[in-house]
Amino acid sequence: MVAQERSARTRQRLVHAAAVEIDENGYERATLTRICKYAQLSIGALTFHFNSKRDLADAVRADARALTNDRMKQVAHGHAPGLDCLIHLTGELAHLLETEVVVRSAARLERDCPGDGGWLESWLPAVRCLLREAQRSEELRPGVDPQVMTALAVHLVTGAETFARASAGGADPHLPAVATQLERMWEVVLRGAVATP
Amino acid sequence: MVAQERSARTRQRLVHAAAVEIDENGYERATLTRICKYAQLSIGALTFHFNSKRDLADAVRADARALTNDRMKQVAHGHAPGLDCLIHLTGELAHLLETEVVVRSAARLERDCPGDGGWLESWLPAVRCLLREAQRSEELRPGVDPQVMTALAVHLVTGAETFARASAGGADPHLPAVATQLERMWEVVLRGAVATP
């Protein structure tokens, strides 16, 4: 293994360890000591790659954005723009939150240090765009405001983050996956909850 | 003012200051020094009333539960059980999250230290009960699972917490109140989002 490749792997191990630590304890509580312990690397190795905890957090955010952008592109590729695509997109976000600690960690960073930009910006513009498209094509019921739908989507994904963290922490294994739960909620939202509107 | 009353007021000031600090910085980052500074009281006054930061957090939670229980009872009193009552109930929660720092703080504590019991338990049973009632009275569309609706309500309130914190932090004053936003989302959820289901 060439030195460069080894260095990249070490860096990746540190970012993963930082994500685990931030997801579990939040940015402020995260310690470099625990990150090194998770990564099975020395503090020297850490400081060779990252100047500070903030640097590590930025790397976590960048990885999460890259992963999310990639998944968003795949979804957009496989579905015509509109509500079906939106549901697949939020389902992918829920799945990422459940399975990728780096994404869960970036979502927590977004809450812990709001205004820093980051994960939300890797999917929110796509959600907005799909909802405008759904309105233009009259897929949305007349009178349904795309902005309200966008807020609803953000609320659902925010809720999914909380559920995903609980489920990653070893919640009831009989509960359905976060993405499945989200899909059921969308089904209600699309068709309506009441018998006689 | 008798000594007892003065002591109760001092205690209340400390709980309020702790709520402000926890809402802003989370439980782990919260410091007793800052809490004393907000309360304009000495560390001696604090330790006279509370043994530890955990004690203060428990007092915040207890206040939030009391406030929420009280509001939930008022809502239940003014509305027949069913979806209309549910919407008023979550609207009250959003309003509490936006206006009462002690409630916002308790909601944050619930996330920071999950499994501790607390705020969620002061309203979730009511939500479950109202949805079972809506199913029984066939107000819910056949096939809509009350459990999915409960999860949806929890997601919406979780999202409202995030919005409420941003709005308390001085977000765009032109944005509608969190409770109003939530009401608009429920309107979509109840009637459905698509033109042709």
Q: Which residues of B touch A187 (CB under 8 A)?
A: 148
Q: Which residue of A has its CA nearest to B169?
A: A114
pLDDT confidence tier of residue B115, bands split at 50, 70 and 90? low
Query: Domain A3-191 belongs to what topology?
Result: Tetracycline Repressor; domain 2 (1.10.357)
CA distance A169 to chain B (A): 10
Q: Do A181 and B151 touch (CB under 8 A)?
A: yes
Select the residue of A25, A158, A188 nearest B159 (Cβ to Cβ). A158
Q: How far is CA A119 from the centre of its chain?
A: 7
Whether the predicted pLDDT of B101 surpasses 90: yes
- A144-173 confidence digits (pLDDT tens): 999 999 999 999 998 888 888 877 766 566
**Distance (Å, whole) CA B144 – CA A184:** 9
Backbone torsions φ then ψ of A99, nearest 5 degrees: -105, -20
**Distance (Å, whole) CA A166 – CA A163:** 5
Q: Do A192 and B189 touch (CB under 8 A)?
A: yes
Selection from B156, B54, B33, B48 nearest residue A182 by Cα: B156
Q: Which residue of A has its CA nearest to B183?
A: A148
**Distance (Å, whole) CA B147 – CA B75:** 22
Q: Which residue of B has its CA nearest to A156?
A: B155
Q: What is the pLDDT of residue B26?
A: 86
Q: What is the pLDDT of residue B93?
A: 95
Whether the predicted pLDDT of B170 surpasses 70: no
Q: Which residues of B touch A82 (CB under 8 A)?
A: none
CA distance B142 to chain A (A): 7
Yes or no: say if A187 and B143 are a contact pair by the CB < 8 Å rule: no
ipTM over 0.85: no
Q: Do B26 and A26 touch (CB under 8 A)?
A: yes
Q: Do A140 and B194 touch (CB under 8 A)?
A: yes
Task: Tell me the residue ranges of DSSP E strands in chain B.
Answer: none
By mean pLDDT, which of A109-113, A149-153, B65-69 is the weakest? A109-113
